[in-house]
Amino acid sequence: MHVTKSSLFGLALGVLGFTGFASEARAVTFLGPTPYLDASNTPLDVAAPDFVLEDFEDGLLNQLGVSATAGAPLAPGADTDSVDGDDGLVDGLGRDGHSFFASDGPLGITFQFDATALDGLPREVGIVWTDGEGEVTFEAFDAFGVPLGAVGPVALGDGRTDGATPEDRFFGVVNDGGVSAIHIANSAGGIEVDHLQFGGINLPPDCTEAYATPSVFWPPNHTFASVYVRGVTDPDGDPVTITITDIGQDEPVDAEGSGSTCPDGAGVGSDVAQVRVERAGPGDGRVYALDFRAEDGRGGACEGVVTVCVPHDQGHGDVCGDQGALADSTGLACMNDCEGDACLPDECNGADVPRGVIHRMGNAGRLLDVAARRDKPGPARKAVKLLAKTERKLARLDANDGLPDECTEAMTDRVHGAAERAARWLEARAH
């Protein structure tokens, strides 16, 4: 062991020969530390078609999608401690091979994996610690950067600086949800590692063949109907979860001859969309566009859009002219831009509603209309605050019998419904 060496070797994908320190609920298994003299000692699935072994023998860390936070490959030398068999001979010394070295052992090295470049994250990752002082700790992180657990600290250093290999140990991790990084460190001196290895790449779901079912509704009866997204597959066979992220339509929610109902869509944030079975009388049929996200629970995801048709009539078959998603079906702007008593529900005819309440409702409607037309969250956030104030004022009026019960109830329903739709709309755009 060379006391002047120090390394920042932190996140490495690996499966090591030690089992434990992991939650069974997350299907995590840590491996190691186990003796390691050549590649045949790895507990990972080397027969897997995507298995990768980086032995640094070309003097580079050049695996696509893999990076290190510290350190660099170390050339052969009197105190180099490569994996023993890298020079073609298992003789107790690693001087004639390459390794990876960082000067700050306590800071360690983190090996990071890029899911985009790799087309997914590896489920198995391993690294071989070959030299350093003090105690060794190995950590791993899931697809979201959350710690999966750790092995160590374990006392491994033998105090030698001559490239001797008997102390070399493999550390690794297996996580069904994917590994985004591993980190390895020792408590003093520098740190030297070798044989970074990974495999079992998690492939994301495929949304290209997605479709809506049912995809056509008739007759237009202004009721809500459930729509499901089907056809999403996963190349690994993982179960896929569908989340509706947006619902749009190619006609205004209050289009002429449509029944003037609002909202026309619901279910954002769930796995089932609700669309209103209606279309504009003078139009060419209504097309709903359902945006969705599919996730495999292992960090893989895809996004897509499916469409639903409510034909104008049955004379031309189940066909709709698609003008694009021009309006938000979930009714962000169902509380219309209004002035004065036009903002009030029919139940409030003749009631002495405070001007401040009416003013807030009108302003909220204008803000929601702007948010829907420009797809901007800022006006919607302001509207939510206005609606919250309005709802509190209505609650005080109700407690003091300041308005007829039917008027208070109708206004509260309208205000609360608008606030809920705006909140869901904002939440969908945050993701």
Q: 157-168, pLDDT tens digit by residue? A: 887 777 888 999
Lowest mean pLDDT among 31-45, 61-75, 299-313: 299-313
Query: What pLDDT was estimated at residue 414?
Result: 84
Residue 4 in this model has a pLDDT that exceeds 70: no
Residue 25 in this model has a pLDDT that exceeds 50: no
Across residues 287-294, what is the average pLDDT?
A: 94
Across residues 318-335, what is the average pLDDT?
A: 73
Residue 47 in this model has a pLDDT that exceeds 60: yes
Residue 56 in this model has a pLDDT that exceeds 90: yes
CA atoms within 13 A on the CB side of 397: 22
Query: What pLDDT was estimated at residue 27?
Result: 74
Give the residue from 129, 185, 154 showing the smallest Cα distance to 1: 129
Which pLDDT band holds residue 333 (cuts at 50, 70, 90)?
Answer: low
pLDDT: which is higher, 98 or 16: 98
Which pLDDT band holds residue 316 (cuts at 50, 70, 90)?
Answer: low
Query: What pLDDT was estimated at residue 7?
Result: 29
Secondary structure of 349-409 as H, E, C letters: CCCCCCHHHHHHHHHHHHHHHHHHHHCCHHHHHHHHHHHHHHHHHHHHHHHCCCCCHHHHH
Query: What pLDDT was estimated at residue 255?
Result: 54
Query: What pLDDT was estimated at residue 131?
Result: 94
Residue 31 in this model has a pLDDT that exceeds 80: yes
Query: What pLDDT was estimated at residue 337?
Result: 57
**CA 300 – CA 40 distance, rounded (Å):** 31
Residue 20 in this model has a pLDDT that exceeds 60: no
Across residues 183-200, what is the average pLDDT?
A: 96
Residue 359 in this model has a pLDDT that exceeds 70: yes
Lowest mean pLDDT among 32-36, 98-102, 189-193, 263-267: 263-267
Residue 15 in this model has a pLDDT that exceeds 80: no
**CA geometry: angle 172, 175, 180, nearest 5 deg:** 80
Query: What pLDDT was estimated at residue 362?
Result: 85
Residues 14 and 53 sit within 8 Å (Cβ to Cβ): no
Residues in the chain, overall count: 431
When mean pLDDT is compared over 74-78, 410-414, 421-425, the highest value belongs to 74-78
Query: What pLDDT was estimated at residue 24?
Result: 35
Query: What pLDDT was estimated at residue 163?
Result: 83
| Sheet of strand 272-276, all strands in order from the earlier edge strand to the far edge | 211-213, 224-230, 272-276, 265-266
Secondary structure of the chain as H, E, C letters: CCCCCCCCECCCCCCCCCCCCCCHHHCEEEEEEEECCCHHHCCCCCCCCCCEEECCCCCCCCCCCEEECCCEEECCCCCCCCCHHHHCCCCCECCCCCEEEECCCCCCEEEEECHHHHCCCCCEEEEEEEEEEEEEEEEEECCCCCEEEEEEEEECCCCCCCCECCCCEEEEEEECCCCCEEEEEEEEEEEEEEEEEEECCCCCCECCCCEEECCECCCCCCCEEEEEEECCECCCCCCCEEEEEEEEECCCCCCCCCCCCCCCEECCCCCEEEEECCCCCCCCCEEEEEEEEEECCCCCEEEEEEEEEECCCCCCCCCCCCCCCCEECCCCCCCCCCCHHHHCCHHHCCCCCCHHHHHHHHHHHHHHHHHHHHCCHHHHHHHHHHHHHHHHHHHHHHHCCCCCHHHHHHHHHHHHHHHHHHHHHHHHHHC
Query: What pLDDT was estimated at residue 239?
Result: 92
Residues 292 and 270 sit within 8 Å (Cβ to Cβ): no
**CA 387 – CA 399 distance, rounded (Å):** 18
Burial of 430 (0-12, 13-18, 19+ CB in 10 A): exposed
pLDDT digits (tens, 9 = 90+) for 370-394: 887 777 889 889 989 999 999 999 9
Mean pLDDT, the chain, rounded, equals 85
Query: What pLDDT was estimated at residue 22?
Result: 33
Which pLDDT band holds residue 176 (cuts at 50, 70, 90)?
Answer: confident
Share of the chain above pLDDT 70, in %: 88
Query: What pLDDT was estimated at residue 134?
Result: 93
Query: What pLDDT was estimated at residue 420?
Result: 82
Across residues 84-97, what is the average pLDDT?
A: 93
Query: What pLDDT was estimated at residue 208?
Result: 95
Residues 343 and 358 sit within 8 Å (Cβ to Cβ): yes
Residue 425 in this model has a pLDDT that exceeds 80: no
pLDDT digits (tens, 9 = 90+) for 243-262: 999 898 888 776 554 455 67
